[in-house]
A and B are shown apart, each in its own frame.
Chain A
Amino acid sequence: MAAYILRRLAGMIAVMFIVATLVFAIAHIIPGDPAGVMLGPSATAEDVAALRTRLGLDRPLPEQYVRFLGAAVSLDLGQSIFLGRSVLQALGERAPLTLLLTGMAAALAVLIGVPVGVLSAVWRGGAFDQAGTALSMVAASLPSFWIGLTLIEYLAVRWHEFPVAGYGAPGAGLLEHMRFLVLPAIAVGLPNTALITRFTRTSMLDVLHEDYVRTARAKGLHPATVVIKHAFRNARTAVLTVIGLVVAGLIGGAIVTETVFGLPGVGNLVVSAVLRRDYPVIQGALLVISGIYVLVNLGVDLLYAVLDPRVRY
Chain B
Amino acid sequence: MARVTVAVSPGLLLLHRLLRRRLAAAALLVLVAVLAGGLLAPWIVPYAPQRMDILHRLAAPSRLHWLGTDEFGRDVLTRIVYGARLSLLVGGLVMLVATGCGLLLGLLAGYVRRLDGVLMRVTDALMAFPDILLAIALMAALGPSLIDVVVALATVQTPRVARVVRGAVLVLRELQFVEAAEALGATDARVMRVHLLPNLISPLVVQATFIFAAAILTEAALSFLGAGVPPTVPSWGNMIAAAQLYMQQADWLILAPGIAILLTVLSLQVLGDGLRDALDPRLRRLMR
Contact = CB atoms under 8 A, between A and B. Distances in A.
A274 B254 CA distance: 25
Contact of A145 (B130, B224, B251): B224
A68 to B, nearest CB: 15
Interface residues of B, number: 45
Given A153-B254, A274-B227, A249 B130 contact: yes
Interface string B114-127: 00000001101111
Contacts of A252: 130-133
Contacts of A146: 220, 240, 254, 257-258, 261
The interface size bin for chain A is 35 or more
Nearest to B268: A141
A74 to B, nearest CB: 20
B227 A141 contact: no
A290 B225 contact: no
Given A145-B224, A275-B226, A157 B127 contact: no
Nearest to A20: B125
Interface string B232-259: 0000010010001001100100110110
A53 interface: no
A3 interface: no
A184 to B, nearest CB: 15
Nearest to B244: A149
A150 to B, nearest CB: 7
Contacts of B39: none
A295 to B, nearest CB: 10
A251 interface: yes
Contacts of A171: none
A31 B220 CA distance: 25
Contact of B240 (A11, A26, A145, A290): A145
Contact of A294 (B128, B220, B261): B128
A153 B137 contact: no
Contacts of B141: 26-27, 29-30
Nearest to B143: A31
Q: Does more than half of chain A's interface fall in helix, strand or loop, or is it mixed? A: helix
A277 B140 contact: yes
Given A145-B221, A149-B254, A274-B139, A255 B128 contact: no
Contact of A274 (B140, B224, B258): B140
Given A143-B261, A150-B254, A271 B247 contact: no
B254 A255 contact: no
A14 interface: yes
A271 B225 contact: yes
A29 B225 contact: no
A277 B125 CA distance: 23
A293 interface: yes
Contacts of B139: 274
A282 interface: yes
Given A141-B269, A274-B227, A282-B137, A153 B251 contact: yes
Given A19-B128, A150-B254, 8 more contacts: A140-B269, A141-B266, A150-B258, A248-B129, A252-B131, A270-B136, A271-B136, A286-B133
The 7 closest A-B pairs by CB, nearest first: A252-B130, A18-B125, A290-B128, A141-B265, A141-B266, A252-B132, A146-B258
Interface of B: 121-122, 124-134, 136-143, 213, 217, 220-221, 224-227, 237, 240, 244, 247-248, 251, 254-255, 257-258, 261-262, 265-266, 269-270
